[in-house]
Amino acid sequence: MCGRYCLDENPQALVQRFALAAVPRYQPRWNIAPGTLVLAIHAGDAGRVGEAMTWGLAPQWARGAGRLPQPINARAETLAQRPMFRAALHRHRCILPASGFYEWQTLPGVGGARPRKQPWYVHPSGLGVFALAGLFEPGEAGEPASCCIVTTDANPAMAPIHDRMPVLLDDGAVQCWLDPGADAREVAALLHPCPAAWLLMHTVSAVVNAARAEGAALIQPLPPAG
């Protein structure tokens, strides 16, 4: 899964990378958590737009039906079968730009202690940001839209840390994913693990475990043990 990520890219760089119609407004953040407003990019009437959306998908058909889960992730393998995601897959695809994301590796406890979670920071091996495949639902009555991140099986680089990872799209795949006219087979073909060479990763401090923690220090590598 993907439960926290970072975006500290210059907004103008996002305009150039994703051909946005306007410069998006957002503040750099190094510990983006579910339930908060995040930057999502989707196809608008006048070109691609960057929009602030709540991270946690709330389908329109489910509103007013009592408290239902608002998933932050959606499994790529079952998108077309799940009512929660099926309509968004066909009509409301987006990407979430990320400078990197966090994942937690379960490590065995020492001396009979409970297993512990070690956070890792995963970021692009090249310049720029990841384009995380996402789905969104438009908002109503002045409320922001909502979104979630599509996940897939881990690639060989991620597998020792976690068995899932976000679907990461290259620029050609972004073009298809954001195209409202793309057919179901074209879209489905994009939902696979990225090459391991795309990723760099290192362990970071457990301070990031606290959703309110912020700042660039969160992504700094832990010093070597010993």
Q: What is the spatial distance between Cα 148 and Cα 104, in angstroms, rounded to a whole number? A: 19
Name the residue among 129, 63, 49 with its Cα closest to residue 92.
49
DSSP secondary structure letter of residue 224 = P
E strand residue ranges, 88-145 = 93-98, 100-107, 116-124, 130-137
The residues annotated with a catalytic role in the active site are 2, 103
Instruction: Measure the N-to-C terminal CA separation of the chain; round to a whole number of Å.
Output: 31
